[in-house]
Chain A
Amino acid sequence: MSRPLALLGCRLLDPESGLDRVGGLLVRDGRIADLGPHLRAGELGPEVEEIDATGLCLAPGLVDMRVQLGEPGAEHKERIDSAVAAAAAGGITSLAALPDTSPPLDDPAMLEFVARRARKLKSVKVHPCACLTRGAEGRQLAEMGLLREAGAVAFTDGCRAVADARVMLRALSYATAFDALVIQHPEEPALAAGGAMHEGPVATRLGLPGIPACAEVIMIERDLRLVEATGARYHVAHLSTAAAVEVVRRAKARGLPVSAEVSPHHLLLTEAEVEGYRTYAKVSPPLRTEEDREALIEALAEGTIDVVASDHAPQDQESKRVPFAQAAFGVVGLETLLAACLQLWHDGRIDLLRLLAALTVRPASLLGIEGGRLAVGAPADLVLFDAGLRWTVTEAGLRSLSKNTAFEGREFRGRVVRTLVDGRTVFSLGDGAT
């Protein structure tokens, strides 16, 4: 076993317990052995490696519950090793991988393949989601029981919505046998078909086919009826509209087992980014209006939205340097997740612990994984960050194989300084690429 490690003089932030004070944290055998203001430099014994973290924030490592790894099938866009390196640089210590790969993760052997490849890297923990339906085709149920035993943390058809209401009803019903989490891409496919951006005046002016806001809320409202009928745990991925926020808010008030998620780009950007046919602003669901963005921030601040996930969707240049309608959807987001979220805090829109909860303990609880907490006995999955450090996003600085960031050239305040997984440093600012 490696030497015990202490991070000292930092602002300890634990969203679960509400802890927010200066102190130290001791790591022994990959777990948190002690934490608090009583841990001070020079008092821990000679066997402890002390790290001076004065002025920095120490929080649970981020848990990113929506990531496309690229593997298997799109290794030219991202590989597990590049995604994991990017995640580590973003302060992420656990991530949930989407299963609509090629071939899809609808078979225990495929799931184990991904998990094994990730484990070998001894870095960020990769938890695969499994397909809800075979081949993510929305017709037949996937083998949820076997997939769950193989380590699936949730079930979803990834970027595809389960369109058939009867299939969705059965999937939700079956999932309750395992108390499994079902994640839906909330978009009525018939309404979204052919669309390239948010339907509205900007799409009209640019002459681009639109995706109406109602495509999202219709799918969620349908699903909520099915959740009511089954009692399944239902998670709405990447909300984008004010109408959907309102529907989730009411469902929560009625006590339904529903949770919701938002991406940093939907929190910071609007359809105006598409101006000039910028394909890097083509995402699914599409960037919406300023009014929608405001509603999402408000919903996150009040807790209606539980989770912020990067929705990391790597795309190579060939998928983006084409006319807008032909371009692929998606942006990379692992490395900018924390910094983008911190902007909301710097702008005074959200409390820091509330924001960190949406990035750590809440997704960890939904997925049923360890981590996301600063507590004695918890795995030492940690992120040390400088909340005030300014930096500019550049394509060249990204570790992801794909460079399709929506934040190119943007200055953020707040940067990851060190990331630890099970007490091992997997990223340290200044090592290698920055």
Chain B
Amino acid sequence: MAASGAPPFRHLLGIAPLETGEIEALLDTADGFVELNRRSDKKLALLRGLTQINLFFESSTRTRTSFELAGKRLGADVVNMSVGVSAIKKGETLIDTAMTLNAMHPDVLVVRHHDSGAVALLARHVRCAVINAGDGSHEHPTQALLDALTIRRRMGRIRDLTIAICGDIAHSRVARSNILLLTRLGAQVRLVAPPTLLPAGMDRQYGVAVFHDMRAGLEGADIVMMLRLQTERMQGSFVPSLREYFHLYGLTWEKLETARSDALIMHPGPMNRGVEIDGVVADDINRSAILDQVEMGVAVRMACLDHLTRHLRAAP
């Protein structure tokens, strides 16, 4: 992970600053934790004595729970703070929050914020490692890592797979982190979305292919990665209606016909059934990797926590 600020602590703020070798090392570590998590005794002591604070400025159940489980399974003391309902409402700034947290001496902060760049801003003002659990429309690195782990375990590799990412690319941090990670690991990435949800020039910028027709975009795809649609954005401003969106870009068996017959279906959750994905498709146990993703999420987050706190264990 890229060093940011003074050593020894390092942050995980995005996929962009990671070296390819670091990504692979994280995935390898996570692989081991998958096996651990399937045992009845899931507890390790790697983070014993360390304090992990999950600081969520934006509501989230599954990501927060996943980080909480990850920390607890490694032996950390985990505290959840939902800032959306307390300090912000009282006018506390992000930097005030950072100062307050410093005084509590946490070892790892897991931060989600509704503004792009806000996690990096916070990281500049705290004296511990920070994991970005999603900042605005910028990055969501642990989601991309867990997606990569899911693909690697199911398909055996990532290089040369054709991966179609479909939906609201423009506002999606999941899309940005996945585009960076999957192209780095050698996948052929396609973006499928209406032009209003796909910033111009992404094909050149990221070396990906862009499709506005979903059937064409899914043709021959090994992986179909659906994005969650933010329904508040969909009322006549970016697309005319949910029904039209589902008609053109919702994942159905019919549209899937052009993809490879064993193509894997992924979704970061929570799903809008009947909006971006047909419920029956999502539930097909042979094709859908959606529950695998949830499982891999805990393992990947354990790996991130492990890597970011190694310097604390090495210290006398």
Listed in ascending order, the chain B residues whose CB lies under 8 Å from chain A are: 16, 93-95, 113, 115-118, 120-121, 135-139, 173, 176, 199, 201-202, 205
Contact of A322 with B94 in the complex, beta carbons under 8 Å: yes
How many residues of chain A are within 8 Å of chain B by beta carbon? 20
Contact of A322 with B93 in the complex, beta carbons under 8 Å: yes
Contact of B137 with A208 in the complex, beta carbons under 8 Å: yes
Alpha-carbon distance between A207 and B139 when the two chains are bound, in angstroms: 8
**A323 sits at the interface (CB 8 A):** yes
Alpha-carbon distance between A209 and B117 when the two chains are bound, in angstroms: 12
Contact of A204 with B116 in the complex, beta carbons under 8 Å: no
Residues 318-340 of A at the B interface (beta carbon under 8 Å): 318, 321-326
Contact of B120 with A325 in the complex, beta carbons under 8 Å: no
Contact of A324 with B116 in the complex, beta carbons under 8 Å: yes
Alpha-carbon distance between A375 and B93 when the two chains are bound, in angstroms: 54
Given A206-B116, A207-B138, A318-B93, A277:B176 Cβ within 8 A: no
- Kindly list chain B residues whose C-beta atoms are within 8 Å of the C-beta of A326: 115
Alpha-carbon distance between A412 and B69 when the two chains are bound, in angstroms: 54
Alpha-carbon distance between A204 and B116 when the two chains are bound, in angstroms: 11
**A257 sits at the interface (CB 8 A):** no
- Kindly list chain B residues whose C-beta atoms are within 8 Å of the C-beta of A206: 116-117, 138
Given A200-B201, A206-B138, A277:B93 Cβ within 8 A: no
Contact of A323 with B205 in the complex, beta carbons under 8 Å: no
Apart from A200-B201, A207-B116, A208-B117: 6 A-B pairs, beta carbons within 8 A:
A205-B176, A207-B176, A323-B117, A323-B136, A325-B116, A325-B136
Nearest B-chain residue to A318, judged by Cβ? B93
Contact of B201 with A325 in the complex, beta carbons under 8 Å: no
- Kindly list chain A residues whose C-beta atoms are within 8 Å of the C-beta of B16: 205
- Kindly list chain A residues whose C-beta atoms are within 8 Å of the C-beta of B137: 207-209
Contact of B115 with A323 in the complex, beta carbons under 8 Å: yes
Alpha-carbon distance between A303 and B135 when the two chains are bound, in angstroms: 44
Alpha-carbon distance between A260 and B115 when the two chains are bound, in angstroms: 35
Given A207-B135, A207-B139, A207-B176, A323:B121 Cβ within 8 A: yes
- Kindly list chain B residues whose C-beta atoms are within 8 Å of the C-beta of A430: none
Alpha-carbon distance between A326 and B113 when the two chains are bound, in angstroms: 12
Alpha-carbon distance between A200 and B204 when the two chains are bound, in angstroms: 12
A-B contact pairs, 26 of them (CB 8 A): A203-B199, A204-B201, A204-B202, A205-B16, A205-B176, A205-B205, A207-B116, A207-B137, A207-B138, A207-B176, A208-B116, A208-B117, A208-B136, A276-B120, A277-B116, A277-B117, A277-B121, A318-B93, A321-B95, A322-B93, A322-B94, A323-B113, A323-B116, A323-B121, A324-B117, A325-B116
Nearest B-chain residue to A200, judged by Cβ? B201
- Kindly list chain A residues whose C-beta atoms are within 8 Å of the C-beta of B202: 204
Alpha-carbon distance between A324 and B137 when the two chains are bound, in angstroms: 12
Smallest CB separation, A197 vs chain B (Å) = 10
Contact flags A108-124 to B (C-beta < 8 A → 1, else 0): 00000000000000000
**A432 sits at the interface (CB 8 A):** no
Alpha-carbon distance between A326 and B139 when the two chains are bound, in angstroms: 18
Given A277-B121, A321-B93, A201:B116 Cβ within 8 A: no
Alpha-carbon distance between A178 and B139 when the two chains are bound, in angstroms: 55
- Kindly list chain A residues whose C-beta atoms are within 8 Å of the C-beta of B136: 207-208, 323, 325
